[in-house]
């Protein structure tokens, strides 16, 4: 190529770059001193990503602290489907200048494309808050919340988008209807699905909405404010133990035990964010040989639940009464406060506080005021959400009237669950240390117990009445030999929920 042909080409490229720089005022201050960045952006916009990458890498050598360089490197690697490098450069650009125009939205969309929904939700939420007119940020924030089962959060984003964006209205209303159904408001879900069927021009969306309407109409239980449940079991116990809130009574004998548990609840106020209701539970155990260990309990319950975004708070008031061998045994008035924080589809954090007043009818020394605090978590496996680990830590202070009946207890619970379409499997264990505050006068020494237990259970879910098989083993070691014991219990039960 001779000098006469090179000059017009050089002039043309220079002219284009000058024009391009003037049309991007937000980037001009950072790009005018770096021609490689200009050439890289120009090649990127033309779809020549290989050339863009070459220029942008040179631009990075010239300006290693320029966030625009890293931003466009991230965009280029994303177009080339080199996602690991794209994430690296998006994050580097954000560290240098988190307010760079367009960066947060593009990083959010990149995380959405690569199924990093939690990270995408965080970024889309920030964009939607900073620029309320950005309906796509609001819509994708809803999608990411929906995909992580945060339906209360998703619902608000979809309702906002449906009101302000005509283009996204039908899709937003569709997802909002599903969220209503998932958060316990089938009436609102049915209303929205019916509206979509009438107004949408999308055949696919109309067909899907009709399927949801059929499902809702075929399941009237969705609208029931009440729930019933029962459990019947048969247990073989090689060392029958009566466990009360204060103490364990060990028989050192085996027996076959029939147990029945029935209960129900009624929500007289029910909405996606607030529930108030009453419940009742009844328990009965019958021993074949050791009739003196037959236990009956009757429990009432008043509950209030408030749900906001990914946090659920509940308050329970439960009066309880117990009979042992058909005789009054004890009563308990219990107040519980429970909070659950669903950080993501994979992680949930829980905390519980409980205050109880226990009244024993035949031995006033066991009368007590008890307080306890529990904190725990559940963590699902990222690669297999059917498998979850759980752990709890609980502390109890039992202030009994009898000095030798006062104790403090610490408990650690751990285990894992496997939830399949057809069955649930649970394996767990408990380890507790119970320290009594005063000397036991009968043994002239203070009692300190260490209890270790393991259990595993399998339940089949493909039946209306679910069979459950469970094995449990425990060993208690005490500072007083008379309270040492071990036991194994094997049970088979049938469970029904309505």
Q: Taking residues 483-490, what's their average pLDDT?
A: 93
Same domain for 341 and 195, yes or no, is no
Tens of pLDDT, residue by residue over 69-119, are 999 999 999 999 999 999 999 999 999 999 999 999 999 999 999 999 989
Distance between CA atoms of 178 and 205, rounded to whole angstroms? 13
CB distance 252 to 485 below 8 Å:
yes
User: Given a cut of 60, is residue 410 above it in pLDDT?
Assistant: yes
Q: Note whether 211 and 262 are same-domain residues.
A: no
Q: Find the domain containing 184 and state its range.
A: 3-220
Question: Do both 266 and 212 map to the same domain?
Answer: no
pLDDT digits (tens, 9 = 90+) for 345-387: 789 999 999 999 999 998 888 999 999 999 999 999 888 888 9
Q: How far apart are CA 300 and CA 320, in angstroms?
A: 7
The alpha helices in 165-249, defined as continuous H runs, are 169-182, 186-199, 203-218
Q: What are the φ and ψ backbone dihedral angles of 472, each rounded to 5 degrees?
A: -140, 140
Mean pLDDT (whole number) for 155-174: 91
- Which residues on adjacent β-strands are paired with residue 372? 354, 396
What are the distances in angstroms from CA 163 to CA 90, 170, 462?
32, 10, 41
Same domain, 212 and 266: no
Beta bridge partners of 455: 428, 472
Q: What string of DSSP letters covers 248-280?
A: EEE-S--EEEEEEEEEEEEEEEE-SSEEEEEEE
Q: What is the pLDDT of residues 190-211, one digit of tens each?
A: 999 999 999 999 999 999 999 9
For the whole model, what pTM was predicted? 0.72
Give yes or no: residues 191 and 254 share one domain.
no
pLDDT tens-digit readout, 20-38: 444 444 444 454 468 889 9
- C-alpha distances (whole Å) from 478 to each of 243, 315, 450, 481 are 16, 36, 6, 6
pLDDT, residue 249, reads: 74
In this prediction, residue 307 carries a pLDDT of: 86
> Strand, coil or helix: what is 300?
strand
Q: Rounded CA gap, 411 and 87, in Å?
A: 42
Angle at alpha carbon of residue 29, lines to 28 and 35, rounded to 5°:
65
How far apart are the C-alpha atoms of 496 and 262, rounded to whole Å? 9
pLDDT of residue 2: 44
Q: Do 335 and 476 fall into the same domain?
A: yes
Place of tokens 């990222």: 382
Q: Write down the pLDDT at residue 13.
A: 46
The token pair at 339 is 């909070």
By three-state DSSP, how is residue 180 classified? helix
Q: Cα separation of 494 and 464, whole Å? A: 10
CATH of the domain at 321: 2.40.160.40
Clarify whether residues 379 and 463 are in a common domain: yes
Looking at 182, 203, 220, which one is the last position of a domain? 220
Q: Which of 389, 386, 366 is nearest to 377 (CA)?
A: 389
Q: How many CB atoms lie within 10 A of CB 334?
A: 18
The domain tally of the chain equals 2
Beta-carbon contacts of residue 477 (< 8 Å; ≥ 6 apart): 449, 450, 451, 484
SS3 state of residue 182 = helix
Tokens of 24: 């991007």
- For residues 8 and 131, membership in a common domain is answered with yes
pLDDT at position 12 is 46
Nearest CA-CA partner of 44 in 68, 65, 66? 68
DSSP conformation letters of 135-163: HHHHHHHHHHHHHTT-HHHHHHHHHHHHH
Query: So what's the pLDDT on residue 308?
Result: 81
Query: How crowded is residue 4: how many other Cβ atoms within 10 Å of its Cβ?
Result: 7
Residue 263, strand partner residues: 229, 281
Dihedral angle of Cα 170, 175, 181, 182, to the nearest 10 degrees:
-170
Q: Residue 150: which CATH number?
A: 1.25.40.10
387 with 450, same domain? yes
Burial status of residue 8 (CB atoms within 10 A of its CB: 0-12, 13-18, 19 or more): exposed
pLDDT, position 208: 93
- What local confidence, expressed as pLDDT, does residue 19 receive? 46
- Output 168 or 2, whichever has higher pLDDT: 168
Q: How does the average pLDDT of the chain come out, rounded?
A: 88
Q: Is residue 453 a contact partner of residue 430, using CB atoms and an 8 Å limit?
A: yes
Q: Which two tokens stand for residue 362?
A: 């035949």
Does 184 share its domain with 273? no
Predicted confidence (pLDDT) at residue 220 exceeds the cutoff of 80 = no
Contact 112, 145 (CB under 8 A): no
Q: Please write the tens of the pLDDT for every residue from 273-312.
A: 889 999 999 999 999 999 888 999 999 999 999 988 788 9
Which of these, 416, 414, 485, lies nearest to 450 by C-alpha position? 485
CA dihedral over 21, 26, 29, 31, signed as positive or negative: negative
What's the distance, CA 485 to chain centroid? 37
Q: Which of 220, 244, 269 is the last residue of a domain?
A: 220
Specify whether the CB–CB gap between 492 and 469 falls below 8 A.
yes
Give pLDDT tens digits for 253-280.
999 999 999 999 999 988 778 899 999 9
Q: Which of 201, 220, 239 is the last residue of a domain?
A: 220
Q: How far is CA 232 from the centre of its chain?
A: 29
Q: Do 123 and 250 reside in the same domain of the chain?
A: no
* d(C-alpha 61, C-alpha 355), whole Å: 64
Same domain for 171 and 212: yes
């Amino acid at each position: 190529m001779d000098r006469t042909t090179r000059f017009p080409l050089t002039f043309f490229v220079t002219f284009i770059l000058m024009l391009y720089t003037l049309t991007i005022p937000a980037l001009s201050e950072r790009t005018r001193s770096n021609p490689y960045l200009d050439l890289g952006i120009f090649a990127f916009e033309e779809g020549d990503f290989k050339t863009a990458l070459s220029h942008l890498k040179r631009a990075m050598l010239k300006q290693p602290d320029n966030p625009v360089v890293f931003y466009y490197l991230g965009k280029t690697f994303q177009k080339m489907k080199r996602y690991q490098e794209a994430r690296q450069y998006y994050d580097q650009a954000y560290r240098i200048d988190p307010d760079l125009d367009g960066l947060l939205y593009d990083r959010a969309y990149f995380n959405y494309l690569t199924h990093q929904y939690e990270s995408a939700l965080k970024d889309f939420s920030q964009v939607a808050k900073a620029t309320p007119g950005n309906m796509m940020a609001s819509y994708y924030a809803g999608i990411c919340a929906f995909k992580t089962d945060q339906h209360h959060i998703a619902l608000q984003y979809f309702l906002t988008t449906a009101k302000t964006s005509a283009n996204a209205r039908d899709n937003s209303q569709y997802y909002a209807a599903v969220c209503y159904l998932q958060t316990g408001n089938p009436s609102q879900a049915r209303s929205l699905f019916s509206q979509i069927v009438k107004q949408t021009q999308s055949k696919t969306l109309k067909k899907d909405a009709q399927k949801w309407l059929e499902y809702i109409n075929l399941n009237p239980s969705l609208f029931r404010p009440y729930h019933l449940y029962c459990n019947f079991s048969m247990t073989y116990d090689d060392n029958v133990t009566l466990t009360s809130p204060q103490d364990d009574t060990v028989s050192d004998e085996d027996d076959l035990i029939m147990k029945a548990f029935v209960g129900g609840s009624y929500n007289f106020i029910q909405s996606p964010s607030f529930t108030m209701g009453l419940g009742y539970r009844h328990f009965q155990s019958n021993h074949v040989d050791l009739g003196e260990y037959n236990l009956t309990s009757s429990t009432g319950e008043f509950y209030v639940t408030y749900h906001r975004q990914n946090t659920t708070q509940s308050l329970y008031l439960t009066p309880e009464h117990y009979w042992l061998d058909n005789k009054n045994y004890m009563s308990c008035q219990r107040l519980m406060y429970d909070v659950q924080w669903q950080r993501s589809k994979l992680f949930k954090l829980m905390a519980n506080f409980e205050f109880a007043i226990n009244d024993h009818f035949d031995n006033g020394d066991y009368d007590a005021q008890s307080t306890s605090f529990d904190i725990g978590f559940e963590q699902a496996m990222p690669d297999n959400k059917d498998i979850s680990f759980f752990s709890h830590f609980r502390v109890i202070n039992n202030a009994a009237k009898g000095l030798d009946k006062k104790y403090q207890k610490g408990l650690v619970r751990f285990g894992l669950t496997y939830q399949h379409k057809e069955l649930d499997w649970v394996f767990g264990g408990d380890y507790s240390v119970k320290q009594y505050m005063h000397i036991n006068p009968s043994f002239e020494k203070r009692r300190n117990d260490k209890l270790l237990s393991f259990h595993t259970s399998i339940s089949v879910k493909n039946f209306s009445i679910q069979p459950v098989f469970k094995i449990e083993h425990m060993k208690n070691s005490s500072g007083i030999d008379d309270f040492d014991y071990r036991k194994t219990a094997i049970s088979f039960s049938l469970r029904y929920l309505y």
